[in-house]
Structure 1
Amino acid sequence: MTQLLQSGKLWEQVRSRTESAIAAGALHTIATDHHTLKQGGLEFMVRVALNLKRKALDKQEQSTKPSSVPFNPFLPPDPDLTVTHISSTHLSVLNKFNVVENHLLIVTREFQHQERLLTLDDFEALWLCLGEYPSLGFYNGGAEAGASQQHKHLQLVPLPLYPGESATPFDSLYATAPREDGIQSLAQLPFLHCWCRLPSGLAGNSSTAAEQILSRYLEMLNMVGIQAVNGTDGDYQSAPYNLLLTRDWMFLVPRSQEYCENISINALGFVGSLFVKDMSELETVNRLGPLNLLKAVA
């Protein structure tokens, strides 16, 4: 993989493109309030949307366009949302309907299906971006894991997820995890998952880091029973899952479904960050318990 990303420039490029995309009317931030809920000794932050009308109108417009091919926002990506080329295999695009500010998508240049297994190139592109500023990378492996597009894309959000808070709501959980290097499960999470710390020496070399992360990713998939399924264009996952990682740790959760009582859960739910469409859905999360919500979809 040929690196094209200029070291130390990505954060500036993301912020600059965000400003110009807003001015051009290409970026539509979903305004939210957030609320704190607790269950099982864990803290959850729940964002409640204040207005989803623009996103609904956009979906309606796409559904009425005559086409035999499903709409793909990444082929080509909107130039007003495109941030920079990361490598010979990936480029970066702003999330058009972002809930978290400066939400970046790391997209394959050529079409690959979202249910393809992640590759060395995917992890190298993600690791390059993770090194640019404090951030959380994640992947929604399939529609049941919260993926809204079939074109393979990883995602990157800046940390902390909430102003004035710890990097993620579950930081205290990770801080108290055993200090061992191997893949483990976290006792407070009542569903199948794998978690591990990443070696501190990975920061300097993206190729070496990607190789080690890929190896752990494949080991994690195997440990939760997700196998590689051979396809004509590469290996596919046998089941949906979410993957999250920072420069310090990596977390994988197999999924059974996207929704619980009409509330969609993507990867961010598994660091304690949930999103609901209105106050009635917030009441549902409160009634069920946010940890029970995760258990129901994991």
Structure 2
Amino acid sequence: MDVLSEGEVLATFDKLVSEGSIIYQPYETISEDCEGYPLEFRICPSLAKKPHTVGTKLDSSFDKSQKWGPGSDMFCTDERLKVAKLNNSHDLALNLFCVDRPQFVVLTLDSYRRQHEPLDLDDFKAALEMVTSLSDMYLIFNCSEEAGCSRVHKHMQGLRGPPTAFEAFVGGDRERSAIPFQYFVHHFAQGFGKAEAKELLGVYEDLLRQTRGVLGKTVTDVCPHNVILWRDWIIVVPRRRAAVGSASANAAGMLGSIWVPDRSGVDEWLRLGGRSILKELGVPALENGNAR
């Protein structure tokens, strides 16, 4: 993929926002410390129009938008959303509902691929193209509805880094002990720029095998999990559910960046307790230390 000009991308993004083809507004940020685990709540009024669960219909203002392929449940409101092709297997596009300026989505060109499927070699080839071509973007994948996805067309997302709680995952024992749920992590010493997609796939498949063990899933079961790629690290988080009441999180949320449409969403998290919610969404951390 050709290296993109951030200025050109932002100019297109701002133009599409002004025309209503991208839903984005400035957001308010509230930070909380959950016994050493940092949470950043983003209050994004624009998310009120976003479908939050699989099967939810899009806002009626998008009724005439074309789908992103015959098997897709995602919408392309404007051809200018499409930024590039990745690996000849994925579209890199500007996201329709954004919490970052800009925010990307990486969709399979095969619009019948589904979000409950694990990542494969083509996914990792596309992911590496994105994270090595775009500055300071991290990649997330929400595998299945229980892991926080709201659309079933297989896709990943690109967000501005760093993930809020990332340092806890790569720090010492004290930092890692603050993480309330189990996870698996691997560092690529050669860096993403020199790593091959097949290497990432091999590591991911091993972490996914461990994730299945934690969740009691077989290789034929859907295995809910989140994936995060950032600064030469891969993190995999086993998931048990998407939400506790109205408090929900995707991959970014499990790493501390929680998106809500209004203040009531923050209040619900604080009422139930951030650590308690994260333990229910994931798998509670082991007493003798997190899975590694």
Q: TM-score, normalising length from structure 2?
A: 0.81
Question: 1:169, 1:272 within 8 Å by CA — same for their partners in 2?
Answer: yes
CA distances 1:67-122 after superposition (whole Å, capped 9, x unpaired): xx886225x67413111222211111111111122110011111211111211110
After superposition, where does 1:156-167 map in structure 2 within 5 Å?
A: 156-159=158-161, 167=162
CA distances 1:186-229 after superposition (whole Å, capped 9, x unpaired): 4332322211222234413xxx4211111111001111225432
Question: 1:24, 1:80 within 8 Å by CA — same for their partners in 2?
Answer: no
1:276 to 2:260 alignment: yes
The verdict on how the C-alpha distance between 1:139 and 1:224 changes in structure 2, with shifts beyond 3 A counting, is same
Which residue does 2:16 correspond to in 1?
Answer: 21
Which residue does 1:131 correspond to in 2?
Answer: 132
Amino acid at match of 1:288: L
Question: 1:13, 1:84 within 8 Å by CA — same for their partners in 2?
Answer: no
- Identical positions, percent: 24
The verdict on how the C-alpha distance between 1:63 and 1:258 changes in structure 2, with shifts beyond 3 A counting, is farther
Question: 2:239, 2:281 within 8 Å by CA — same for their partners in 1?
Answer: yes
Paired residue secondary structure (1:36)? strand
Which residue does 1:228 correspond to in 2?
Answer: 219
Distance 1:157 1:141 in 2: 17
1:196 to 2:186 alignment: yes
**Number of residue equivalences:** 266
CA distances 1:34-81 after superposition (whole Å, capped 9, x unpaired): 10111121221111233545447972428989xxx886225x674131
Which residue does 1:140 correspond to in 2?
Answer: 142
Amino acid at match of 1:84: A
**Aligned counterpart in structure 2 of residue 212 of structure 1, from 185, 193, 199:** 199
Paired residue secondary structure (2:79)? coil
CA distances 1:267-293 after superposition (whole Å, capped 9, x unpaired): 001221111232222122122222221
Distance 2:72 2:196 in 1: 34
Distance 2:11 2:48 in 1: 26
Question: 1:117, 1:228 within 8 Å by CA — same for their partners in 2?
Answer: no
Question: 2:192, 2:232 within 8 Å by CA — same for their partners in 1?
Answer: no
Which residue does 1:61 correspond to in 2?
Answer: 60
5+ residue gaps, structure 1, are: 160-166, 179-184, 230-236
Distance 1:20 1:64 in 2: 21
Q: TM-score, normalising length from structure 1?
A: 0.80
5+ residue gaps, structure 2, are: 65-69, 283-292
1:187 to 2:188 alignment: no
CA distances 1:127-181 after superposition (whole Å, capped 9, x unpaired): 111012111100010111111111111111122xxxxxxx232133134247xxx
Which residue does 1:117 correspond to in 2?
Answer: 118
Distance 2:209 2:8 in 1: 37
Distance 1:51 1:247 in 2: 29
Distance 1:119 1:71 in 2: 19
Which residue does 1:250 correspond to in 2?
Answer: 234
Amino acid at match of 1:36: S
Question: Alignment RMSD, CA only?
Answer: 2.7
Paired residue secondary structure (1:29)? coil
Paired residue secondary structure (1:80)? helix
Paired residue secondary structure (1:191)? coil
